[in-house]
Every structure is written in structure tokens, then in C-alpha cells.
Chain A
Amino acid sequence: MDRRDFFKKAFSLAAVAGISSIVKSTPLPAAQKDSKNKKPPELVAVRNGTPEEMFDEGIKVLGGMKKFIRRGQTVVVKPNIGWTANPQGAANTNPALVKRIIEHCFGAGAKRVYVFDHTCDNCFTTYNVSGIEKAAKEARATVVQANKESYYEEVRVPGAHSLKKVKVHELILESDVFINVPILKHHSSTRMTCAFKNLMGVVWDRSFYHRTDLDRCIAEFPLYRKPDLTIVDAYNILTNGPRARSMEDVVNKKMQLLSKDMVALDVAASKILGEEAENITYIKIGNDLGIGNRNLDEVNIKRIDL
């Protein structure tokens, strides 16, 4: 390094430090809202980083992946891989985020990590084009197909009104830990697809949902099994979904939400999307069924700006 280089670097460092100190010094409303609460957070909201950075930070606040996975356990990571669309199209979960989550799972001692989705488009193309198969395999996860009925087993859903029985992917039945990784999107009939709606990808007969009562079936599925952790990918969101038709519909929000409470997550997500949570029927039903809390004022939220 010569002197000129040194000066260049020194100045740029100083500039960065200066700017960041200014940014830090302005009182952030987010930080203020959180300060009154000392309990462990129930919902972590992170913004302004890459999906991986936001996840690293978010999971740290939740106590690390070790809080959710014990050594030797098997894990299902269930992203949205529904559509033949590349990662920029924001129709499927961000592959880099999926990869980082899997790495954390193995870091926490997971024995095996499975990744699958019952896709809407042909699974050979969606797994490939979404980049998720490649990313998951790079992180040593087992990518599993979900396009045949023989993978599914019928279970009873206790307390359900419409979805009394449902055929669920065998890995959901067998695995110790279930991590739900939806991407936040507008949906043409349910208004939003996020934590709740993403779980339609672990059942065989989606047609039954549509035929019977879509909103109620979506809301009732977690009565069978709630994900142990849900990570909402709101880095790029789709405002005219759920299928990626045009790049015009993709908005860069740079956010991520982590929680066990799917109802609170979907309420928070609906605000990011700009939909009224009141209008999203399955959130209301999910709240009434006791799956989570839709009153965000009662949820301890930790907001993080990167």
C-alpha cells in the first residue's frame, strides 16, 4: 500500500464512520418503541440489509438457531418454490436466504435438513429456475420432491371445522423441527400470501382448500402443526401476485420478519404489503382459533435497523 492509497482508504473510512454516526444519532422511532420492553422478543423485524445479514441478526436476537434445534434433530425448511420464476421475480423465496437458514440449522447441530414445496408450476422447472435447489444443495440440504400423492399421509386436524382431514407431506410428520420460510406477496383472491398461505405447500390436495373454503382451510391447517419458526422474506415483495408476471410488480422493501406467532407475522406483513389485515379473512380466523395474536400492540416486537 502506498501513501496515496492509505489516504484514500483513511478518508473513506472516516467518511463512512461520520455518516454512520449521524445515522445512529438520529432517534429512530423503531428503537424507541422497543426500549420499554425487557422481555425476550416475540417478533423480530429487521430491515435494510441483505436477506442473509438480516437473518443473521434476527436469529441472534431470538437466541440463535440452537433455541429451535437440538443436536441430531431433523429439520424441514419450507420455502415458497411455487412458480417458474427467477429470484428477481420475487415469486419464490430468496434462495440466498434459504441457504443461510440451512447453514444455521447445520450450525446448530441438525442431522438432516429437508427442503421441499408442493409446487404450482412443474416442480422440475420451479426447483431449478428459482435457484433454491442449487442454493439448498450447496448448503448440504436434501432437496425432496413433493409432486406425487405417495409422499403424503392423511392426518386429522383437531378442532377444525372445514379442514377435518388433510394429506400432509410425510416429512412434516417425521421431522423434529419445521421452519416456514414464506415470501411476502399479494395474492389475487386471499389478498396476501405469507406465513399461513405458504403452508398450502405441504399438503397434497390444494383443490380441496379452494373448493371447500379457502380462507378457513388456510387458517385451520396450523391446528395440526404450527411451524416452530417462521421467517418472512420481505426483501423483494410482489404487489400483484402470486405469480411473477412483470418486474413492474416487484418492490424492494429490504425487510425480514421472524417469529413463532404466524398471526402476528401476517398482520405485520400485511402492513408492509399495504393491505388491511382486517380484510384478510384467514388472519381473523387464525386469531379466533388461538393460533396467534393479531393485536400487534400486545406483541413484543424487536425492530432492528441494519
Chain B
Amino acid sequence: MRAGKLKILRVTLEVIFFIFITFSFFFFFPEKLKSIPVKFQIIPLIISFLSEGFLLSLFLLVIFLITTAIFGRIYCSFFCPLGCFQDILIRTKKTVKKRAKFKYHKSFTILRLTILTLLIISLISGSLYLTGYLDPYSFFGKLVNYIIKPLIALINNSSELILRKADIYWLGIMNFSTINILSITPFILIFGIIVYLSLKRGRLYCNSICPLGTFLGIFSIRCLYRIEIDKSSCTSCGICASVCKAECINSKDKVVDNSSCIRCFNCLEVCPEFAIKYKLFAKNKRIEAEKKESFSRRKFIYSFLGVLTFSGINLLLRNKKTADKTPLPPPTPPGSISLDKYISKCTACYLCVNKCPTNVLQPSLFQYGLLGAFLPHMDFYSGYCAYECNECLKVCPTDAIMPHTKEEKKKIQIGRVKFIKEFCVVYKNNTNCGACAEICPTDAVTMTPYKGLLFIPTTRPSICIGCGACQNVCPATPDKAIVVETNIVHKEAKIPQFKKGKKDEETPQDFPF
């Protein structure tokens, strides 16, 4: 294979995937295309398979692992959105500072294995809190939510203002989710690490912290196609090592750490002697190469000790959660089935948050406990769940929100309406209101005659779906007079029997006045 072509292929696919995946977070992206790129993310596939046993997820997962075993970590340079984000940073730095060069460094094997095992244990113990920050896709989702989308919204909204002054109404105003200092802190921390590492040491994050990088690295130890240096023609000039973002080429010893190689193919085109090649690994060389591998038994053991301490802390956190008796948490999105299931499957990539057209889905703080920190929750103060909408039920890459059709979703009861008469405007002020009843999509809130010409809300919780519209629009202050009480385990709402109108009436033959 010609070296240049491989790099062109990698860059093209990487850019296409990056654009796709970024745009799949936006509401206006074409319906058919938008959910595809997120289905190619490995950790979400693993969660989806482990929790729901979806065969399609398993199938895609196996394909990914087989490809990795054959070609190496191509995910890292082809499909990983966070990888592409780092590549963009590296590229920018290179353009600004022409002499930026990389050097070979030994792999941080113990750290890598520790983080990976930690993640696996936390996965098994039912908390995805770590995954949400360590899975490159889920982290990238947060990046879109906290940085990219607000930026785009800012540009959009300011140009909308200018255009509107010129009487042009092409653009609408874009919303983005509310940003809370508390929930953004861990994100900013890791984001800082990634930016710093990528500017300083290339894709070091992928070879030190990223657990997916480690996982795929293990699979690619004995991959069939490897980057190899032809020892007879190599002059150890180090040019290849200076362009290696993964810092895995040891040009002095003329070996490449293939488990750290992210398959960017930058090295292939720079060698003046054409000594570095990407090719099928010859069998007789294998035994010799394996001695140099970074994953040894001793390192596995060391990392296991590290894991034990951390998993102990994790268990402590988990016990704490069951002990406290706080008031009911806010409802989880329709399709999440129950709070426990939701917490054990959601990695907080905020894809649903960005998709939600009414902005009812917002990152939470600790409403779902410590293990469910920062997961999206139904925030009826910022919006309500639109009856005719199932956007969030179509996109979830980990199936924390299980796919449902619009008709199925209309029967999911995520909570039940509760009316508190003492706070109601009609009761307090003796004036009409009815904001809750007019917005209710199912007739769970209706207006019934009260004093004089007034009407007061009456509720039928059995047909309520908990969409929160009534709570959202209720004008009563300081406390809402109508609220949704969470169903920790979702139920099925009864189908509303609509009151029969005056349909029998015929078209009148004259004006009634």
C-alpha cells in the first residue's frame, strides 16, 4: 500500500465522522443520518449489549474488535470524535509553531491498566459516573454540550440579531442547556488535561488515561497489520518519531509499540529511506517482538492492586446512596424504564439534552444521588416534554433511553400529576387561570366549575403521563400549585377517554344572531 493514500483515507474518514457526529447533536440535522455516527462508538455499544443484550450492538462490537485485531487501533484515528478534536488541536499548533516535534516515550502501562480495570469494575458495580468522563465519545458529548453548542448558539444568535435588524428572518434563535458551575467542574478539569497533553505531547491522553485506548491497545498487541521498521535500511534518523503523535516509535532501537500506535499513518510518508511500513506481520518475527511489549504480567498485577483501592471507594459511595432518604428525584426521561436502570446505563453524553427541542432535558446536579451525578433529568422549570415528540427516544447510544415510537411514548407514565389547591391562583385570587388544563395533552387536568363564573383544575392521575407541562406553565408563585410526582419505575398510563363534544350538531342553516 502506498503510504500517502492511507493517510488521505484516514484524514478524510476522520473529518467526515467528526462533522457527522458533531452535527448529530443538533436538532436541525437530517433525520435519517443523525443517529448513525453515534452507533459506531465502542463503549456505548458495550453498555448497550451488556445491559439489554442487543445483538446488533454485539455484532458491531465484534466487527470493531476483529478490525482492531487485524489492523490495530484504527478506531482512535478514524472514528473517535475526541481523537479528532485532539488532532485538530495538534494540527493548529503545528501550523502556528512549525518546529513542533514529538519524541519517543515509554508507555504508562500501569496507569493505563489501572484506569481500564477501574472502569470495568465501576461498570459492573452499576455506576457509569467514571465512564461518562473517561469514554471518549461520552466526553466529547459533554464537549459539544458545554463548549461547541454554546459557541455556535452565540454566533447564530448574534447574527440573527443583526439580520433581524435588516428585516431578514432566516435564522431562528438557538437554545443551549443551562451551565452549572458545579457540573462543569469535572469536565473543565479533564478538558484542561486533554488540551494541555495534546498541545504538549500529542495523543498522550489516548495512551495514558483513555481506557478505550488501553482496551483496544490490548487487542492490537498481536494485530496482523503492523507498523514496522526495516532494520537494514533504517538509519535511526528519528524523523518518523518526530511526527508520531502517539510517541510510540523508538527509532534508536528501530521498534514500534503497536499497542500504542493510533494508526494515524503520519510516519509512513516521511521516511527518507522508505524503511517504515504498514504491512502484514511476518510470523517468524513475532516471538522476538513480543518481548518488547508494554503489557507484561507484572504490570497487570501492579495495576490490579491500584484497582482494589479505588473500587473500595466506589463501593463506599454506592452504600451511601442507598442509605439516604431524600425527597423524590425528578423524573427520568421516558423510555428509561426506571431510575436504577437509567443510572446504570447513562454515560451522560448529553446527546438527548442537545436533541430535546423543548429544553426539558437538562444536566442534573446530585438529584439522582452521587452515582447519578450530572445525568440528564426532566427539568420542568425549564421546559416540558412535548407530547408529539420522541427525539430523545431515538438517539441514545447506550440505550439508557430505550427506543420507542411516538405512540408507545405517549403511554409511558414517568410521573403523576398532583394538584395543591392552596397554592392555586383560582383559589388564592378568585380569578380565572386554567394554564395547566389548556396545556395538558391527555385531559389529566381539566377545569371544573368553581365559584361563580370561575373554573378550578381537577386531576386524573391515572391518565397522566407526567410530561410536566402543567408544572411548567403554572403561574403560581413562590410554589407551583401543580407538580409531577416521579415514578421511580415508569408505569403505563391509562388511555384517556375524551369527553364527547357536540359532534352531532349539523352545520347551521342560519346565523345565531
Contact = CB atoms under 8 A, between A and B. Distances in A.
Given A207-B473, A215-B431, A189 B447 contact: yes
Contacts of B173: 145, 147-148, 150
Majority SS at the chain B contact face: loop
A281 B473 CA distance: 22
B162 to A, nearest CB: 13
Contacts of A281: 432, 453
Interface residues of A, number: 60
Interface of B: 27, 161, 167, 169, 172-173, 357-358, 386-389, 425, 429, 431-435, 437-443, 446-447, 453, 455, 473, 475-477, 496, 498-503, 505, 507-508, 510-513
A288 B59 CA distance: 73
B507 A214 contact: no
7 contacts: A142-B167, A145-B172, A207-B435, A214-B433, A248-B500, A249-B503, A252-B507
A155 B505 CA distance: 44
Contacts of A60: none
Interface of A: 28-30, 45, 47, 84, 112, 120-122, 124-125, 129, 142-145, 147-148, 150, 187-190, 206-208, 210-216, 238-243, 245-246, 248-255, 267-268, 271-272, 274, 279, 281, 296, 301, 303
A30 B172 CA distance: 47
A213 B429 contact: yes
Given A125-B389, A189-B437, A190-B434, 16 more contacts: A121-B386, A125-B357, A143-B169, A147-B173, A207-B473, A211-B477, A213-B431, A239-B502, A243-B441, A250-B501, A255-B508, A268-B513, A271-B513, A272-B508, A301-B513, A303-B511
Contacts of B434: 187-190, 210, 214
A215 B432 contact: yes
Name the residue in A125, A210, A215 with the highest tally of chain B Cβ atoms < 10 Å from its Cβ.
A210
B387 A212 contact: no
A122 B385 CA distance: 10
A145 B169 contact: yes
B475 A243 contact: no
Contacts of A188: 434, 437-438, 446-447, 455
A213 B431 CA distance: 5
A107 B378 CA distance: 48
Given A120-B438, A210-B425, A239 B476 contact: no
Q: Which 3 A-B pairs have the closest CB atoms?
A: A189-B434, A249-B501, A211-B475
Contact of B432 (A29, A47, A129, A190): A190
B438 A122 contact: no
A88 to B, nearest CB: 13
B432 A214 contact: yes
A245 B173 CA distance: 29
A175 B360 CA distance: 34
